[in-house]
Amino acid sequence: MKISVENERELVKEILLKLGVKENQAEIVTEATIDSDLKGFTSHGLGRFPQYIRGINSGFIQIEGEYEVVKETESIALIDGKSLFGQYIAHEAMMLAIEKAKKTGIGAVGTFNSNHFGVTGYYSDLAIKNDMIGLVNCNTEPGVAPLGGNTAILGTNPIAIGIPANDTYIAVDMATSVSARGKLLEAKRKGEELPPNIAIDKDGNPTTNPEKALEGSILPFGGFKGYALSFMIEIICGPLVNAAFGTAVTGTAGDYKENCNKGDFFVAIDPSKFVSINKFKEEVEEFVQEIRDGGAMAIPGDLETQKIAENEKNGFTIDEKLYETIEEICNDLDINLNDYLTE
């Protein structure tokens, strides 16, 4: 079963609106979902969407009320998300960081009391679209054991960086673990095994079983380097922004037994405050060409650009389990899912 990009966009938005989500928030959640699938991060796109519906139904994702800026200076702000949609809060936080960067050269905004926001790179892309450098971090429920340990204490703690250029999309969006937790959840849903060297079970033994991996730990990428980055992000997205950290983080995996209390951190940097923006972007392109001439297989962002082109042409595949879940949601809202499918 497949669905076109436009049909998925219409379907997601219709579901949200029928649930009573405000239109501006529904549009942001929809675009973040589409962005994930377009870039090939299917574990955070439509495949993750039912998690948000469960969040609304269980009362852990609020669709009424407004967030609050609890602290603010010219260059920084701290936002209490009031348990609203993570995508909406993250979008507002990055746009506020961009606004501040236009005035002072750099803007940094932290958020707490928010929810899972999809892929991190969607928000660094907002900076790129405004000729800014974007940097985004967040922490998550424990899923990664410290190097040498067996007990998950750290989150998968992603990092995204986006760089504006003239013609080239330059961005990186990655977990500090070998795999994002969403990919384990997706493998579990599809009944697939994990590749080797991704995870250990609760006893510290290597496993390719996603269920055992979720009970155990995902491995940090690059040994100590990934562990060290995750450690630092845990502090930046925990104590720094009034959010939980370590084993106290809850609510990102989608079981909605407890409120989501993780933290996020958004930074926008205005290159024009250092050099002219045209000079900056031209020299970035010069560097890109030097890397390509050096025989590089790809630069950060190439794979996403390729995936976007493929998916815009071919649409997205929906596996049987996901179809059944989405169909159940649609039936409850008097929506015919098959009207949106292309085959």
Cα angle 161, 167, 171; round to 5: 15
**Per-residue model confidence (pLDDT) at position 60:** 96
Average pLDDT, the chain: 95
More confident residue, 185 or 334: 334
Q: Kindly report, residue by residue over 273-295, the tens digit of the pLDDT.
A: 999 999 999 999 999 999 999 99
**Per-residue model confidence (pLDDT) at position 244:** 98
**Per-residue model confidence (pLDDT) at position 253:** 84
pLDDT of residue 343 exceeding 80, the answer is no
C-alpha distance from residue 34 to each of 122, 142, 180 (Å): 10, 27, 18
Q: In angstroms, rounded to a whole number, what is the distance separating the alpha carbons of residues 291 and 280?
A: 17
Q: Kindly report, residue by residue over 29-86, the tens digit of the pLDDT.
A: 999 999 999 999 998 999 999 999 999 999 999 999 999 999 999 999 999 999 999 9
Bridge partners (DSSP) listed for residue 200 = 206, 217
| Pairing mode of beta strands 2-3, 199-200 | unpaired
Q: Kindly report, residue by residue over 222-273, the tens digit of the pLDDT.
A: 989 999 999 999 999 999 999 999 999 999 987 888 899 999 999 999 999 9
Q: Kindly report, residue by residue over 179-219, the tens digit of the pLDDT.
A: 888 888 889 988 999 999 889 898 889 999 999 998 889 99
**Per-residue model confidence (pLDDT) at position 338:** 95
**Per-residue model confidence (pLDDT) at position 7:** 97
Reading the block at residue 20, the tokens are: 């009573």
* 50 class by beta-carbon count within 10 Å (0-12 exposed, 13-18 middle, 19+ buried): middle
Task: Enter the pTM of the model.
Answer: 0.94
**Per-residue model confidence (pLDDT) at position 149:** 84
**Per-residue model confidence (pLDDT) at position 148:** 84
Q: In angstroms, rounded to a whole number, what is the distance separating the alpha carbons of residues 233 and 184?
A: 21
**Per-residue model confidence (pLDDT) at position 257:** 84
Q: Kindly report, residue by residue over 76-113, the tens digit of the pLDDT.
A: 999 999 999 999 999 999 999 999 999 999 999 999 99
Question: One-letter amino acid identity for 293?
Answer: D
Query: 267 and 123 in contact (C-beta within 8 Å)?
Result: no
Q: What is the mean pLDDT of residues 18-30?
A: 98
pLDDT of residue 18 exceeding 90, the answer is yes
